[in-house]
Amino acid sequence: MIRFRTLCVAGSPGRGSHTRALVAHVGRLLERRGSETSLADLAELGLPPSHPDHYWSPEPHPVARAREFIDAVRASDALVLGTPVYHSGYSGLLKSAVDLLPRDAFEGRAVALVSHAGGPRGSAGACEQLRQVVKALGGWAVPLQVSTVTADFAGDPAGDFTSGRRTLDEAGPVHARCEELADQLAVFTRAMRGAGALGDRAGAAA
């Protein structure tokens, strides 16, 4: 089995958020499919805001945390982007992080999209918006996407969100979609990268 590296990005500003739990859930499913998975929780990274001077500059970003995030994206073979839904769109925190990336940051990479909305199911629009972002950065968003609401998670909905212990209910209907999403990302990543390309990237990142 060809192993690959996946960076899972949680785009919620809240610590212990549903978005983080959803992204982490997909990440664990990917590990069962041969991925070495890491999590970038934007609520914890403290990335600087994007700025036109950095966006157009060929020089490395002057802030170390930003460089580390960019390097993590470049070292990945696939990505999972997760966002909460605000006003039917994806989060400003995720937008700012994506704007730190060079224009070819997703080139040759498959990307899985997930979102969480606090109210009735209506978070699919945020994923559709992210499809355009993935395309602009040279990536390919897999066909399936997953959207959740609070009822899809185990535990008391009024519980402590800061603990980071929120988990997706594996007995619920969304878990099966996450399994299918992980399948698609693994299959398309291997198809797009191939054994030689994956090995070259892993060696370059070492």
Determine contact, residues 80/114, Cβ cutoff 8 Å.
yes
Single-letter amino acid, residue 120: P
Single-letter amino acid, residue 84: P
Q: What is the pLDDT of residue 16?
A: 84
Tokens 């996946």 — which residue?
6
Determine contact, residues 150/157, Cβ cutoff 8 Å.
yes
Q: Tens digits of per-residue pLDDT, 68-117? A: 999 999 999 999 999 999 988 999 999 999 999 999 999 999 999 999 99
For 72, the 3-state DSSP assignment is helix
Residue 173 has pLDDT above 50, yes or no: yes
Residue 160 has pLDDT above 70, yes or no: no
Q: What is the pLDDT of residue 105?
A: 94
Number of other residues whose CB lies within 10 A of the CB of residue 119: 9
Mean pLDDT of 129-136: 97
Facing residues of 82 across strands? 10, 114
Q: What is the pLDDT of residue 163?
A: 45
d(CA 151, CA 148): 8
| Predicted TM-score of the model (pTM) | 0.88
| Residue 87 burial by Cβ neighbours in a 10 Å radius (0-12, 13-18, 19+) | exposed
Q: Tens digits of per-residue pLDDT, 29-56? A: 999 999 999 999 999 999 998 887 777 7
Give the DSSP per-residue string, 137-151. Answer: TT-EEEEEEEEE-GG
| Residue 178 burial by Cβ neighbours in a 10 Å radius (0-12, 13-18, 19+) | buried
